[in-house]
Structure formats: C-alpha cells, structure tokens
C-alpha cells in the first residue's frame, strides 16, 4: 500500500495475459497493521519525489477497511505524504486489495480492481513483498530499516517467485539501513 499499482496487464509471449502473482495463502490483517519501511521498489511516477525514509502506516478505519498513510522525505528536504484506503478484494486470503487515494486520478474510488497483492511474508511479518497484478510495480517492506544478507536472499527468491526481476527494484535509502539507490540485484 506504499502506493497504488499500475493497472496494465502483463503479457506473455503469444499475446496472452499472464496470471497475476499468487497472494500469500493467508494474511492476518491485524498483524499487517502498523508501520512498514520501504527498503526497495520498482520506480513509479508517484514515488520519484521520494529520496529516503519512505514509510507506510496501516490502521483499521471505521468502515473496517485499512487506512493508509504514506510518507517520505523528498529530494529537496521536505516531506511528501498521502492518505488513502485499502479494501480487501479477496476475503479468502485477505492478501489482494484495492488501494485508493482520494483526489489522485484513476485512484480515487474506494472500491475497484485489485492493485495490491501481498505475495510473500517474512517470519512473524518481519518483511513483505507487494506487487501489482501486472507485475509493473513492487515494494519490499520491512518492520526494520535494514535486513541481513540471508533475509535479502529470501526477498530475492520471493521476487523471482512472483515473476519479477530483482534488477528492476531499486533500493530505498533509509536511516539506519541502506544509504544508496542501486539495483537490488547488485546488493
């Protein structure tokens, strides 16, 4: 829910649409709530202004959906933030959601197609991989500002299992974590 995903469908050779990445079998929403740090992401137009310390905070809202509060420090030293809502589209897993941001073109409706899939979770909800059905966006989220090498190997394997290339993910500078922007595959 760091941001809503691009809604274009992935295409496989021969012109057929690829199936979306598989969600985790079960997402316990109460365990997913709280603050997450973005440690890597596929660059998107909406996050190019973010230079470092990108976070997403999820809370339960009065309608039973998830309140989304995204925040980052910009290249000019300011703070960029946006609030939205995530609505579960798949009550069997709770891991496929529609994230909306009022006032953002194409993202303003509270209900809609899935644009956020939790495809992998670390032990005890320590990290998460989130993708879009098209695989054109993706986010590595963590409860901590840094991951050890073994965990990064697990993240790499999860990205590949979701049908994505770790080289298109760029690391997100984080206080107490990675200080640079670089392709995740060079980490």
Q: What is the pLDDT of residues 84-95, one digit of tens each?
A: 999 999 999 999
Helices (H), 75-170: 149-161
Question: What pLDDT, on a 0 to 100 scale, did the predictor assign at position 17?
Answer: 66
Q: Give CA–CA dist 98/88, Å, rounded.
A: 7
Question: What pLDDT, on a 0 to 100 scale, did the predictor assign at position 112?
Answer: 94
Phi, psi of 37 (to 5 degrees): -105, 135
- 169, 183 contact by CB (below 8 A): yes
DSSP state of 77: S
Please state, in angstroms and as integers, the Cα–Cα distance from residue 171 to each residue in 49, 57, 135, following that order.
15, 19, 17
Phi, psi of 39 (to 5 degrees): -100, -20
Q: Give CA–CA dist 133/162, Å, rounded.
A: 10
- 98, 7 contact by CB (below 8 A): no
Q: Which pTM does this prediction carry?
A: 0.90
Q: What is the pLDDT confidence band of residue 12, given thresholds at 50, 70 and 90?
A: very low
- 40, 182 contact by CB (below 8 A): no
Kindly state the average pLDDT of the residues 68-87.
Answer: 97
Q: Tell me the average pLDDT of the chain.
A: 91
The tokens for 101 are 């941001």
DSSP state of 124: G
Return the number of other C-beta atoms located less than 10 Å from residue 107's C-beta: 20
Kindly state the average pLDDT of the residues 130-141.
Answer: 97
pLDDT tens-place string over residues 52-67: 999 999 999 988 899 9
What secondary structure does DSSP assign to 132-155, as a single string? -TTSS-EEEEESSS---HHHHHHH
Is the pLDDT at 127 greater than 60? The verdict is yes
Kindly state the average pLDDT of the residues 130-136.
Answer: 97
Kindly state the average pLDDT of the residues 4-11.
Answer: 39
């Amino acid at each position: 829910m760091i941001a809503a995903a691009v809604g274009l469908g992935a295409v496989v050779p021969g012109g057929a649409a690829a199936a979306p990445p598989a969600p985790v079998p079960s997402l316990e929403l109460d365990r997913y709530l709280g603050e997450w740090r973005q440690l890597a992401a596929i660059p998107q137009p909406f996050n190019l202004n973010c230079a470092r310390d990108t976070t997403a905070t999820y809370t339960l809202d009065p309608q039973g959906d998830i309140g989304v509060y995204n925040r980052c420090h910009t290249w000019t030293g300011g703070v960029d933030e946006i609030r939205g809502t995530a609505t579960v589209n798949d009550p069997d897993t709770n891991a496929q959601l529609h994230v909306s941001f009022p006032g953002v073109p194409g993202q303003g409706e509270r209900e809609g197609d899935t644009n956020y899939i939790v495809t992998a979770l670390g032990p005890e909800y320590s990290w998460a991989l989130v993708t879009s059905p098209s695989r054109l966006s993706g986010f590595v989220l963590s409860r901590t500002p840094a991951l050890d090498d073994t965990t990064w190997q697990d993240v790499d394997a999860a990205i590949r299992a979701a049908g994505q290339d770790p080289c298109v993910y760029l690391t997100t500078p984080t206080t107490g974590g990675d200080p640079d922007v670089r392709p995740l595959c060079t980490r």
